[in-house]
Structure 1
Amino acid sequence: MTPDASPMRLGVPVKLLSDPALKANDARRWQSGPHLRVSLEGLDAILDALDRLNIRMYRMSSDLAPYATHPDLPQFHGQVAECAADLAAIGAKARRLGIRLSFHPSQFVVLNSPDPVLVGKSIADLASQAEMLDLMGQGPEAVLVIHLGGAYGDRDAARARWVETWERRLPAHVKARLVLENDDIRFDAADALWVHQRTGVRLIFDHQHHWCLNRSGLDLAEAAGRFLDSWPEGVRPKIHFSSPRTAMKEVKRKVEGTRRQETRLLAPLLTAHAELVNAFEFAHFLRLLPGRVFDVMVEAKAKDLAVLRLRRDLLRCAPDVAARFGLGAAEEQAAAALLEEAAE
């Protein structure tokens, strides 16, 4: 089966709220001796849960191998190699279940910093996560998603440093996995395309980020299409989708000079993610890209519950879009049951 023959996938990052007992990684502090092997036991259970939910894309925790590259804790540096067989087994299971895997390294992974030490630490993190994907036997769809980084007072110079790091310092196995996402504060879609033209790095289009930051005024569908075109033929692209938070937030503050507290309402930031995805907004965006095949990582606060709700909503209000994800009555019934259970 070719990559474009199967339905498009909706993905979930890291945590599953439908089963809070599931652990995305071994989160113990270093004094307790956490290990990748423990994280993989949790990942194995998560894959089973994803299979039951019929969710076929998952972003693994960036802390899957705890302290694996920490410069002051060398006792943890060998755990990826120690778990080669375990990684191969979990990768085989993901392939058998048709679950696409990825990493999104932390905000501290910065390739365009003027500090070469920070860049070196960032490359070490990327190399470790790329090695895990390699040992899992994952194909080119399994990627490491990062942002351009900081502007450091000169956006053009910062972009150029990213290109220089790619050309001079990144190992081949990292380049093979790395993809670049437009962000919502510093570097927009045009910046990511500029880097792609000079490096060939694949691009991840983030829908909410594009609305938050689009200095060049790129048309939404045009920008998304150009990002999708950055992927080679035969490798399915993916995008990120979330809706902005709209609910007001209640904040209690002490009244100066008294013991009283007052409650104030604060408007949400446009960059904040909502708990769920607006299905109307999602369907409209998908209809701007007819005939295009790609997977969608749903970056909503409600995680897998948001995916289930989106599937149900699409079946009701946008069956043409639901069909692109292979959704039917069985998915609607399963989603309704799980959402009802979660609400109790």
Structure 2
Amino acid sequence: MLPKLGLVCITTTDAVRFRTVTRKRLLQHSEIEQQNILKEIYLHNLKRLNNCWDFCTERQIRLYRLSSELFPFADTPAGENILNELSEQLQQTGSRAIELGIRVVVHPDQFVVLSSDKLEVIKNSIKILETHALIMDKLTLPRSPWAIMEIHGGKSDRSERLINIIQQLPEGIRNRLALENDEYAYSASEILDVCKAASIPMVFDAHHHIIHEKLDSYDDPSVSEMLKAARTTWPVSDWQLVHISNGRESFNDRQHSDFITTMPSCYIDAPWIEIEAKLKEQAIDKLKQEWLPSDAGEPVLVKC
């Protein structure tokens, strides 16, 4: 089975783009006007999300990462009221993705830090996750790692706290939650241990791994080893999802490049890959042409 490559949030063109509003602009209006503004944005973004399903289907993209800003201020009473009002449209939109065979995931923003030393930060993080879980429920997406909410470990050296918080999360969050290794705070092996202890999947990011370990190649044996180890955390191995990006200025640059020009050889065995490149669908098209096996069945691996 060939890897399925995933689109992250938007496209380079305006084919998949969403509207938002700043807090400053929103607060310039009365409460009634604020609700009208948010409802207009939510309806617009729902329509664009349906267009996204068409875009992905036409390009045979079977994995899509929802924008964490799809419904701005959804964590407020006004936002939640509008989501409830639009329940039928949300259900239809999510059901359509399922019917088209598009897997939908989300990566909540950097403010989600479940391992924080501050109780208020943890409470706010859980509130953000509750809002994403509500949206995924209304989109009729399953409460399973098929529709994951992927986050980072947060504060370093807080593994025990992170595990305890995860185990206490509401079912709608916990059953979708996955942890990703990062460049600095949590190595791949550390996140693997947390995921095993908390009984949640691990999203392996090869680029974060090579930065954290100061490696000079994606074909370092540890990359393949971590890919295989992370797979054991998934309840269904064929659901395993990984990330890939390349450094913009150098191999170990944390800033993402426009295209993916170097892939780990072992990623040919990864079932699902989110492509974290600046040029989005163009990067996916390039990988399909230059990296995935050709018609003759010969894998073409691009190397720098």
- TM-score, length of structure 1 as denominator length: 0.75
Q: In structure 1, which of residues 58, 62, 75 is the aligned counterpart of residue 64 of structure 2?
A: 58
Q: Deviations over 1:204-244 (max 9, x none)?
A: 000101101138x9821111111011101366111001111
1:104 corresponds to 2:117: no
Range with greater deviation from structure 2 (46-55 or 108-117) = 46-55
After the TM superposition, which parts of structure 1 deviate over 4 Å for at least 4 consecutive aligned residues?
315-319
- Deviation of 1:114 after TM superposition, in Å, equals 1.1
Between the two proteins, the alignment pairs up a number of residues equal to 280
Q: Is the 8 A contact 1:182 1:206 kept in 2?
A: yes
Q: Is the 8 A contact 1:12 1:59 kept in 2?
A: yes
- Deviation of 1:320 after TM superposition, in Å, equals 3.6
- Deviation of 1:96 after TM superposition, in Å, equals 1.8
- Deviation of 1:319 after TM superposition, in Å, equals 4.7
1:163 corresponds to 2:166: no
Q: Deviations over 1:293-326 (max 9, x none)?
A: 511000011111100111111258795447xxxx
1:150 corresponds to 2:155: yes
Q: Is the 8 A contact 1:239 1:295 kept in 2?
A: yes
**In structure 2, distance between residues paired with 1:234 and 1:222:** 15
Larger Rg: 1
- Deviation of 1:269 after TM superposition, in Å, equals 6.1
Q: Is the 8 A contact 2:68 2:107 kept in 1?
A: yes
Q: In structure 2, which of residues 223, 247, 256 is the aligned counterpart of residue 273 of structure 1?
A: 256
Please give the residue correspondences for 1:38-187 in structure 2 after superposition, counting only pairs within 5 Å: 38-70=44-76, 74-139=77-142, 140=144, 141-151=146-156, 155=157, 158-168=158-168, 170-187=169-186
Q: Deviations over 1:118-147 (max 9, x none)?
A: 111111111111122222222331110100
Q: Deviations over 1:145-174 (max 9, x none)?
A: 1000123xxx1xx22211121123x11110
Identify unmatched segments of 5+ residues in structure 2.
Answer: 27-33, 215-219
Match of 2:197 in 1: 198
Give aligned-pair identity as a percent. 26
SS, match of residue 179 in structure 2: strand
Amino acid corresponding to residue 11 of structure 1 in structure 2: G
Identify unmatched segments of 5+ residues in structure 1.
Answer: 1-5, 248-267, 323-344
**In structure 1, distance between residues paired with 2:118 and 2:159:** 14
SS, match of residue 77 in structure 1: helix
Match of 1:14 in 2: 9
Q: Deviations over 1:255-276 (max 9, x none)?
A: xxxxxxxxxxxxx962111110
**In structure 2, distance between residues paired with 1:229 and 1:320:** 28
**In structure 2, distance between residues paired with 1:46 and 1:206:** 25
Q: In structure 2, which of residues 38, 55, 59 is the aligned counterpart of residue 34 of structure 1?
A: 38
- TM-score, length of structure 2 as denominator length: 0.84
Please give the residue correspondences for 1:195-344 in structure 2 after superposition, counting only pairs within 5 Å: 195-214=194-213, 219-233=222-236, 236-246=239-249, 270-278=253-261, 281-282=262-263, 284-286=265-267, 292=269, 294-314=271-291, 319-321=297-299
**Structural RMSD (CA):** 2.5
- Deviation of 1:92 after TM superposition, in Å, equals 1.4
Change (3 A) 1:283 1:192: closer
